[in-house]
Amino acid sequence: MRKIVVERLEHLPVYRQKVEIVERKGIGHPDYICDALAERVSLALCREYLERYGRIFHFNIDKGLLVAGRVERRFGGGRVIRPMEFILGDRATLEVGGERIDVEGLAIETSRAWIRENLRGVDPSRDIGFRVLLSPASEELVSIFKKEGPLGANDTSAGVGYAPLTITEAVVLNVERYLNSQGFKKRYPFTGEDVKVMGMRREGTLSLTIAMPLLARYVESEDDYFAKKSEVEEDIRAFLKDPLQGVDLKRVKGEPMKRIEAHLNTLDERGKGLDGVYLSLLGTSAEDADSGQVGRGNRVNGITSLNRPMSTEAAAGKNPVSHVGKIYNILSHRLAEEIFEKVGGMDEVYVWLLSQIGTPIDSPSVVSVQVVGGRPVKESEIMEVVDARLSRIEEFCEELIEGRHPVC
Query: How far apart, in whole angstroms, are the C-alpha atoms of residue 396 and residue 389?
Result: 8
Query: How far apart, in whole angstroms, are the C-alpha atoms of residue 332 and residue 389?
Result: 10
pLDDT at 399: 97
Considering only 27-36, 85-94, 117-126, 150-159, which range has the smallest mean pLDDT? 150-159
pLDDT at 218: 98
Question: What is the number of structural domains in the chain?
Answer: 1
Is 319 domain-assigned?
no
- Please state the φ and ψ torsions of residue 204, each to the nearest 5 degrees: -95, 5
Average confidence (pLDDT) over 253-276: 96
pLDDT digits (tens, 9 = 90+) for 294-343: 999 999 999 999 999 998 889 999 999 989 999 999 999 999 999 999 99
pLDDT digits (tens, 9 = 90+) for 105-139: 999 999 999 999 999 999 999 999 999 999 886 65
Is 20 domain-assigned?
yes
Average confidence (pLDDT) over 241-255: 92
pLDDT at 152: 86
Is 63 domain-assigned?
no
Is 189 domain-assigned?
yes
H, E, C per residue of the chain? CCCEEEEEECCCCHHHCCEEEEEEECCCCHHHHHHHHHHHHHHHHHHHHHHHHCCCCCEEEEEEEEECCEEEEECCEEEEEECEEEEEEEEECCEECCEECCHHHHHHHHHHHHHHHHCCCCCCCCCEEEEEEEEECCHHHHHHHHCCCCCECCCCCEEEEEECEEHHHHHHHHHHHHHCCHHHHHHCCCECCCCEEEEEEECCEEEEEEECCEEHHHCCCHHHHHHHHHHHHHHHHHHCCCCCCCCCHHHEECCCCCEEEEEECCCCCCCCHHHHCCEECCCCHHHCCCCEECCCCCCCCCCEECCCCCCCCCCCCECCCCCHHHHHHHHHHHHHHHHHHHHCCCCEEEEEEECCCCCECCCCCEEEEEEECCCCCCHHHHHHHHHHHHHCHHHHHHHHHCCCCCCC
pLDDT at 141: 54
Average confidence (pLDDT) over 255-275: 96
Is 241 domain-assigned?
yes
Task: Give the residue among 71, 67, 72, 47 at the shortest CA–CA distance from 59.
Answer: 47
Cβ atoms 176, 197 nearer than 8 A: yes
pLDDT digits (tens, 9 = 90+) for 3-16: 999 999 999 999 99
Cβ atoms 85, 67 nearer than 8 A: yes
Looking up residue 200, the CATH number of its domain turns out to be 3.30.300.340
pLDDT band at residue 147 using 50, 70 and 90 as cut-offs: low
Mean pLDDT of the chain: 94
Is 147 domain-assigned?
no
Please determine, for residue 36, whether its predicted confidence score (pLDDT) is greater than 80: yes
Q: What is the percent of the chain where pLDDT is above 90?
A: 88
pLDDT at 234: 98
Please determine, for residue 103, whether its predicted confidence score (pLDDT) is greater than 90: yes
pLDDT at 150: 75
Boundaries of domain holding 251: 16-25+167-284
Is 99 domain-assigned?
no
Please determine, for residue 154, whether its predicted confidence score (pLDDT) is greater than 90: no
Q: What is the percent of the chain where pLDDT is above 70?
A: 97
pLDDT at 145: 61
Please determine, for residue 361, whether its predicted confidence score (pLDDT) is greater than 80: yes
Is 203 domain-assigned?
yes
